[in-house]
Structure 1
Amino acid sequence: MLSWLGKMASACWRPVRRYARMSKDDDGGGEDDTLLWCRDLEKHSCGEVSFAVVQANEVIEDHSQVETGRDSTFVGVYDGHGGPDASRFICDHLFLHLIRLAQQNGAISEDILRSAFSATEDGFLSLVRRSCGIKPLIASIGSCCLVGIIWKGTLYVANLGDSRAVIGYERRSNKIVAEQLTRDHNASMEEVRQELRSLHPDDSHIVVMKNGVWRIKGIIQVSRSIGDAYLKRPEFSLDPSFPRFHLPEPLRRPVLTAEPSLYSRTLQPNDKFLIFASDGLWEHMTNQQAVEIVYNNPRAGIARRLIKTALSEAARKREMRYDDLKKIEKGVRRFFHDDITVVVIFIDHKLLEKKISVPELSIRGFVDAVGPSNFNILQGINTNAKSVT
């Protein structure tokens, strides 16, 4: 039976395998992982980018994109939960909202990013409102949302949830150092639990330890997201017939928020690269381990290498080899690891001062959809950096 399922999965994934089989692996050998997609190396406005995604769920819940322009680069990592609807919606709408707002305001800024997140949240909640009559569980679907923009030498990062952006920078000793640019909005963090308790002093069940894991209302770990409408507005409360999402008492005010954490900085000569990744990567390696892998290995395929290192660690924890893990079909793989998305952005500072010609591409992770990017219409807009928040 398992042999038949394996053959069936192999046949279904042949179109993806065509893209996943890039250069021969030098870090594991053996047959390629048919659930692993990558673009080993592409150019962007101030360097190169490596991009990889591996699927674990029956339907992939990680959606992602890289947009390249003449003097700008956009990265989006959207880690869905409960289904792919929210992460796919973000991938289809957030960047377009950003472009529209930047044109209207003549700038890229933290405020523009915040407004793009808000417009995306409003749009998805409108979709929930229209759909919940025929698909009530859409009210329980949500997504983390991590965005990075390099715009004329300035980096902007916005984040909801527990995906993470990490920068690798060199010290004078030529050692690479990891700096986490985002804050994990996850109830496993003491500061997040304290924040929730201070916002809900009259709710003794705002965070609950369940099966050894801290969860908000005993249900969800992330405290900020796009979607999860039933935890934000009473009109989206789910019927008790869905016990997994049943709240012990009516929702009096939102317990989750779509307000992103924001960060900006002017890139410095010792800033070497950025890693944007969903939490599936960080479950299996530290920030410092990740930057050392990037720093000490060739650029081409480095995002794929990070994912394979994480998968090897996930396999080791279950006392098996990665060669055995990668034979397990989607859906069942979720018992071993999460969907994982990794984007590595290399920063070549000499290019920041030059006007170089790079392909203006829009790349969607995993589905391998490539087309022209709308970033070219932003040429001429001035930088309008805000202070770090």
Structure 2
Amino acid sequence: MLSWLKRIAMACWRPVRRYARMSKDEILNDDDDSATPDSLLWSRDLEKHSFGEFSFAVVQANEVIEDHSQVETGRDATFIGVYDGHGGPDAARFISDHLFLNLMRHAKERGTISEDIIRSAFSATEDGFLTLVRRSCGIKPLIAAVGSCCLVGVIWRGMLYVANLGDSRAVIGSLGRSSNVVAEQLTRDHNASMEEVRQELKSLHPDDSHIVVMKRGVWRIKGIIQGIARKLVKTALNVAARKREMRYDDLKKVDRGVRRFFHDDTTVVVIFIDHELLGNSTSAPEMSVRGFNDTVGPSNFNILQGIDENARSTI
């Protein structure tokens, strides 16, 4: 939930080179395209970023999609954000509109990107949303019950930064010695199924005896449930269909809203890191891609160009 943003539970940073063992050519192609189209599935095939390529896929389940997501590419940096909204799309949309801009503003002021800069951007985004809630709750009271998970990845000067709040997950894969793909979870999930999270919520909200609720055998906060990208989404949908003893083609015919009883809104972004591009100057388009809306526009990453050039001149 957004109220956790000032107490961000995890930000990890590691050299990208450690993970640069994989390219898109080493991944199996997705040839399992069914003849039946799925109007609620959106995907974007491979696009360039500074250190390789990325793919994007989103599937809608709710009447109004609550997931928002973005990929921002620049000459020397890449930003990925996935925001799993709950209770409505307002919080996730706000994060998508403001978090990256806050990050760029703080990065420009401090002359770099770091763990502290990412924390500051999260905090500024939370403060902005809480201000919006205070101003709007009189005419739109339900906005006070809206929240969002927030998963962010930033590649900057050969370093990978990952920050997570909620139960979204970042996983990185590399080729092991036997050429098998080895997956490593980079983030720790935060949800009400964890005792430490329930205790933290209770301590933060001592006057709310219903801050965490057991509902249908699952712990929930306030009783509310908390290229390759397309293939992963379709795999998840196949699992959802099998649980209801359905075929995937049958699931695709279920309307949005009703489909929410079968699966949640789902967003997957896959970033390929090309080992040969690390340390080399490569031209990548500066663009901003928003998931499901299928909007592409210019990115504000150009703010960082002066920062990067100044840093190089002082090295």
Shorter chain as denominator, the TM-score bin is 0.7 to 0.9
Of 128, 150, 161, the residue aligned with 1:156 is 161
Q: What is the CA distance between 1:371 and its match in structure 2?
A: 0.7
Measured in 2, the distance between the counterparts of 1:94 and 1:313 equals 33
Would you say 1:354 and 2:280 are equivalent positions?
A: yes
Would you say 1:378 and 2:304 are equivalent positions?
A: yes
The letter for the 1-side match of 2:304 is: L
Measured in 1, the distance between the counterparts of 2:207 and 2:147 equals 26
What are the Cα deviations for residues 282-322 of structure 1, in whole angstroms up to 9, with x where unaligned?
Answer: xxxxxxxxxxxxxxxxxxx2111110111011001000000
What are the Cα deviations for residues 177-196 of structure 1, in whole angstroms up to 9, with x where unaligned?
Answer: 11111111101124433544
Of 168, 176, 193, the residue aligned with 2:173 is 168
DSSP-derived class of the 1:41 partner: strand
Contact 1:59 1:84 survives alignment (8 Å): yes
Paired positions, count: 281
For residues 1-389 of structure 1, what are the structure 2 equivalents within 5 Å? Answer: 26-196=31-201, 207-216=212-221, 218-220=222-224, 301-381=227-307
5+ long unaligned stretches in structure 2: 1-28, 310-315
Measured in 1, the distance between the counterparts of 2:225 and 2:117 equals 28
DSSP-derived class of the 1:51 partner: strand
DSSP-derived class of the 1:112 partner: helix
Measured in 2, the distance between the counterparts of 1:80 and 1:177 equals 30
Q: What is the CA distance between 1:199 and its match in structure 2?
A: 6.4
Superposition RMSD on alpha carbons, in Å?
A: 2.1
Work out the percentage of aligned pairs sharing the same amino acid. Answer: 79
What are the Cα deviations for residues 344-383 of structure 1, in whole angstroms up to 9, with x where unaligned?
Answer: 0001011011100011110000111101111122024359
Measured in 1, the distance between the counterparts of 2:212 and 2:62 equals 27
- Give the TM-score, by structure 2 length: 0.84
The letter for the 2-side match of 1:76 is: G
Q: What is the CA distance between 1:76 and its match in structure 2?
A: 0.6
Contact 1:106 1:381 survives alignment (8 Å): yes
Distance 1:319 1:66, change over 3 A: same
Measured in 2, the distance between the counterparts of 1:335 and 1:207 equals 22
Measured in 2, the distance between the counterparts of 1:34 and 1:202 equals 44
The letter for the 2-side match of 1:75 is: I
Distance 1:65 1:321, change over 3 A: same
Q: What is the CA distance between 1:169 and its match in structure 2?
A: 2.1
Q: What is the CA distance between 1:171 and its match in structure 2?
A: 2.4
The letter for the 2-side match of 1:345 is: I
Contact 1:188 1:221 survives alignment (8 Å): no
Distance 1:154 1:340, change over 3 A: same
Distance 1:135 1:203, change over 3 A: closer
Contact 2:233 2:268 survives alignment (8 Å): yes
DSSP-derived class of the 1:381 partner: helix
Residue 262 of structure 1: aligned partner = none
Distance 1:313 1:221, change over 3 A: closer
Residue 13 of structure 2: aligned partner = none
- Give the TM-score, by structure 1 length: 0.68
Contact 1:85 1:141 survives alignment (8 Å): yes
Residue 297 of structure 1: aligned partner = none
Contact 2:214 2:223 survives alignment (8 Å): no
Contact 1:166 1:180 survives alignment (8 Å): yes
Contact 2:76 2:157 survives alignment (8 Å): yes
